[in-house]
Structures are given as C-alpha cells and as structure tokens.
C-alpha cells in the first residue's frame, strides 16, 4: 500500500479512495477514513463530449434542465450504428434456493452483502 500511495503521489494524485467490505480496520490503521461512496467512469472525462455526464443525472435535476441546450451532443462512434433487438430476451431463471445439505456441508459460506461496502479515503 505504501508503494501504491508513493506512486500515486508521484503522478500528482492528492487523495486516494477505496472500497472494502471486510478490511476497514486494516485501512484505518494505514490512515484511511470513511467517506461517501465514489463513482468512477474509469476514463479520462476530459475527452467526453460536453454534456455527456449530465445524461446520468436524475431527470428532475436542475443541472439536467440547464443542459437542454446541448441535447444534440452525441458519443463519437466508429462503424455502423448499433440497432437494438426488436424483442428483448427473457430474463434468466432465478437460481435454485440453497438446500439444507449445502448449508450443513459448507457452514463457512457466507453470502456477501453489497450494501456492506465501506468507502474510505486518504489524503496524501
């Protein structure tokens, strides 16, 4: 972790964010503190068309209303446009319920709860 922080700092990054579901104490020991969830598009947002990220805001958002003038913004594509299928495929069937035998054989299996994710950050 120290090498990762050192590398990030050398690239001009001033704050590191992470998510964890079971190592909160480890990261607290390293100086991380709990924070609000972070959303990342995993891309350099500077190269996205103006107004593109506003499309992800809720419909009733004030920022979205102010972007109506730039509605003609589109995502650059290469090749032919993608045509959606005329009929959506049916959803997959639900998984079978766990059996008592499975739970007895593997008591160490714990279903991971995505709502148990902790977001943490550290200023470098």
For 2-57, the pLDDT digits (tens) are 999 999 999 899 999 998 888 999 999 999 999 988 876 565 666 677 777 677 76
The H or E element containing residue 64 is: helix 62-66
User: For residue 105, is it within any domain?
Assistant: no
Q: Residue 118 — very low, low, confident or very high, per pLDDT cuts 50/70/90?
A: confident
Q: Is the pLDDT of residue 76 over 70?
A: no
User: For residue 15, is it within any domain?
Assistant: yes
Q: Are the C-beta atoms of residues 20 and 33 closer than 8 Å to each other? A: no
Q: For position 44, what pLDDT does the model report?
A: 65
Q: Which domain holds residue 42?
A: 1-58+116-124
Compute the average pLDDT of residues 96-120.
68
User: For residue 31, is it within any domain?
Assistant: yes
Q: Residue 77 — very low, low, confident or very high, per pLDDT cuts 50/70/90?
A: low
User: For residue 29, is it within any domain?
Assistant: yes
User: For residue 86, is it within any domain?
Assistant: no
| Dist CA 12 CA 70 (whole Å) | 32
| Dist CA 21 CA 116 (whole Å) | 6
User: For residue 42, is it within any domain?
Assistant: yes
Compute the average pLDDT of residues 83-107.
69
* Beta bridge partner(s), residue 16: 122
**For the chain, what percent of residues have pLDDT higher than 70?**
55
Q: For position 63, what pLDDT does the model report?
A: 47
Q: How many domains does the chain have?
A: 1
User: For residue 20, is it within any domain?
Assistant: yes
Q: For position 123, what pLDDT does the model report?
A: 95
| Dist CA 33 CA 122 (whole Å) | 6
User: For residue 97, is it within any domain?
Assistant: no
């Amino acid at each position: 972790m120290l090498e990762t922080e050192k590398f990030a700092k050398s690239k001009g990054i001033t704050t590191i964010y992470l998510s964890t579901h079971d190592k909160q104490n480890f990261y607290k020991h390293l100086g991380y503190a709990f924070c609000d969830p972070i959303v990342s598009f995993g891309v350099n947002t500077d190269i996205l068309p103006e107004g593109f990220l506003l499309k992800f805001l809720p419909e009733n958002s004030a920022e979205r209303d102010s972007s109506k003038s730039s509605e003609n913004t589109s995502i650059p594509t290469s090749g032919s446009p993608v045509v959606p299928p005329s009929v959506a495929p049916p959803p997959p069937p639900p998984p079978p319920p766990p059996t008592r035998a499975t739970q007895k054989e593997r008591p160490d299996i714990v279903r991971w709860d995505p709502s148990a994710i902790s977001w943490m950050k550290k200023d470098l």
